[in-house]
Structure 1
Amino acid sequence: MGLFTQSVQVVLSAANLPLRLGWQGREWHVCAQPVRWYERRAWWAESARAEKGHGPGLVDHEIWQLQIRLGERDAPRTVYVSHQLETGRWRLINVPEQANEIRATA
């Protein structure tokens, strides 16, 4: 697996589901139902502390598995993105090895 982190832009539907992913100057379309779950970050290993009363959303990160493609005839690719609920920031965190073509053609 290709594990890394890189900022991306995500366009959401009215139902707050990812529709498009902006990455490396290209717009990828989500072509299958996105899958969402939450992961706990290692807050106990960090020196920064949350202000009193500002805990919700700081411990858990929203993770999405997306099937994306550039065009209607392109094969779908799987990528994983995280969404920081506190800041609204989106990060590409994993591109499985099958997606080496994406990096090579971008």
Structure 2
Amino acid sequence: MGTFSESVNVVRSAEGALVQLWWRGRLYDLAAEPLCWYERRPWWESETRMRPGEGVGYVDTQMWRVQVRQDGATELLTLDLVRYRPSDRWRVIKIHDALDEKFKELQEGA
């Protein structure tokens, strides 16, 4: 599937780790350790000036790739999330197709 943007609620442990997602009215448990990285965004296109200390979330965007499953299900769902700071809003921006993932595995093994 392509890229889009849809709101998601993230549930964290007491230590701050991602453990569950509420998305589209369903609860999903994390099935694997999530991957986190940062992407630089062209902040200068929307912000002409930032005051000192206000750069959090403007320069870099925190991205997450998670594998989740619904309670009792065996099928995994791989999602890319974005965390907007400082508001701490989360959005699903990509749903990975299981066939795409399998193709990547086959390519890496070749």
- After TM superposition, the score normalised by the length of structure 1 is 0.81
Answering whether residue 1 of structure 2 is matched by residue 17 of structure 1, we say: no
Corresponding residue for residue 94 of structure 1: 94
State the Cα distance separating 1:17 from its structure 2 match.
1.8
Q: SS of 1:15's equivalent? A: coil
1:57 equivalent to 2:51? Answer no
Mark the runs of 5 or more structure 1 residues left unpaired by the alignment. 100-106
Shift, 1:83, TM fit: 0.7
Number of equivalenced pairs:
99
Question: Which shows bigger deviation, 51-60 or 84-93?
Answer: 51-60
C-alpha separation in 1, matches of 2:11 and 2:49: 31
TM superposition shift of 1:53: 3.3
For the aligned residue pairs, the C-alpha RMSD in angstroms reads 1.9
TM-score (norm 2): 0.78
Structure 1 moving runs of 4+ over 6 Å: none
- Report which structure shows greater RCO (CA 8 Å, sep ≥6): 1
Structure 2: unaligned runs, 5 residues or longer: 100-110
> Structure 1 4/48 Cα, relative in aligned 2: closer, same or farther at 3 Å?
farther
